[in-house]
Amino acid sequence: MATQQSRVTSKELNYISDSFKNEDLLAKLCVQGAVECQDPRLKMTLTRMAQERVQNAGELMNILQGQSHITH
Amino acid sequence: MNQEQASTSFGASSTHIHLPEKDMANMVLSELKRISGEYATAALEANDSNIRQVFKSLLFRTLQDQTELYAVLSENDAYRGGLSMASQQDVQNELQNQAQSVNALRWFVEKHLQSDEITRSTIHPAYAGQSQSMQNPNRELQHAYSSGAADRAT
């Protein structure tokens, strides 16, 4: 049985995979910073950044979901 | 740091370490810088235009985050202490060196574009007005300096 090909290249898939790891790590760092720091502005900035990083991971998910639909 | 604090910070691996705010923020800044580089590379090397666009968006947001976080940290004078300002003399020297290079580059581009019939017809009007530099690039350069120096003197 022939393997179906996606339209995403192997290199792109590697970058997407690395990006997930980057967003994951940065979101967690931001959460830790937001929880532990006392400065209100820094706390607010890191909180917003943590939430944004989760959204970024969602956009990366959308790429993969879009690619998986193409194969059918 | 007293002895008790030291043993807490560097003791058993199960001890949770609280990094100072500045170190934590610096770590996030470093990560933003590293990730920006990765997104730039990913955008440049992406084959699919939609994927490229996503990487560009993520790069843009990462740069914005870095700007915002740096702005928050810069409000603290102690954080800015690591920055040293270039001297006015160094800036002037760099300006002189680079202005000559830029003028030579302008001359090079105009000369070669003007020599080709097709490209000559497509030169942007704003660019065509700079043709004087082809005849005497140093004269234009000197004029730019003298007017700049006059501005500063006032």
Query: CB distance B28–A29 less than 8 Å?
Result: yes
Residue B106 and residue B133 in contact, taking contact as beta carbons nearer than 8 Å: yes
pLDDT digits 0-9 by tens, B6-48: 444 444 556 777 888 889 999 999 999 999 999 999 999 999 9
Residue with tokens 């105009």: B110
Query: CB distance A9–B27 less than 8 Å?
Result: no
- pLDDT above 70: percentage of residues in chain B: 67
Our CA-based measurement puts residue B38 at a distance from the nearest CA of chain A, in whole angstroms, of 8
Cβ neighbour number for residue B20 with a 10 Å cutoff: 10
| Chain A residues closer than 8 Å to B37 by CB | none
Our CA-based measurement puts residue A4 at a distance from the nearest CA of chain B, in whole angstroms, of 18
Sign of CA dihedral A32, A33, A39, A42: negative
| Chain A residues closer than 8 Å to B65 by CB | 49, 52
Is pLDDT at A52 greater than 90 in this prediction?
yes
pLDDT of residue B98: 92
The beta-carbon neighbor of A26 closest among B35, B42, B75 is B35
pLDDT of residue B9: 46
Global ipTM: 0.89
Task: Quickly state the pLDDT bin for A26 (edges 50, 70, 90).
Answer: very high
Our CA-based measurement puts residue B99 at a distance from the nearest CA of chain A, in whole angstroms, of 39
Give the HSE-up count for residue A26: Cα atoms under 13 Å, Cβ half-sphere. Answer: 30
Packing angle between helix B88-114 and helix B137-153, nearest 10 degrees?
Answer: 150
| Chain B residues closer than 8 Å to A49 by CB | 28, 65, 68-69
The beta-carbon neighbor of B47 closest among A9, A18, A33 is A9
In chain B, the residue whose alpha carbon lies closest to the alpha carbon of A37 is: B21
Query: CB distance A37–B25 less than 8 Å?
Result: yes
Rounded to the nearest integer, the mean pLDDT of chain B is 78
pLDDT of residue B69: 95
User: Which range in A5-9, A50-54, B145-149 is most confidently predicted, on average pLDDT?
Assistant: A50-54
CA distance linking residue B34 with residue A47, whole number of Å: 20
Q: Which of A1-5, B48-52, B105-109 has the lowest mean pLDDT?
A: A1-5
Is pLDDT at B126 greater than 80 in this prediction?
no
The beta-carbon neighbor of B69 closest among A11, A32, A45 is A45
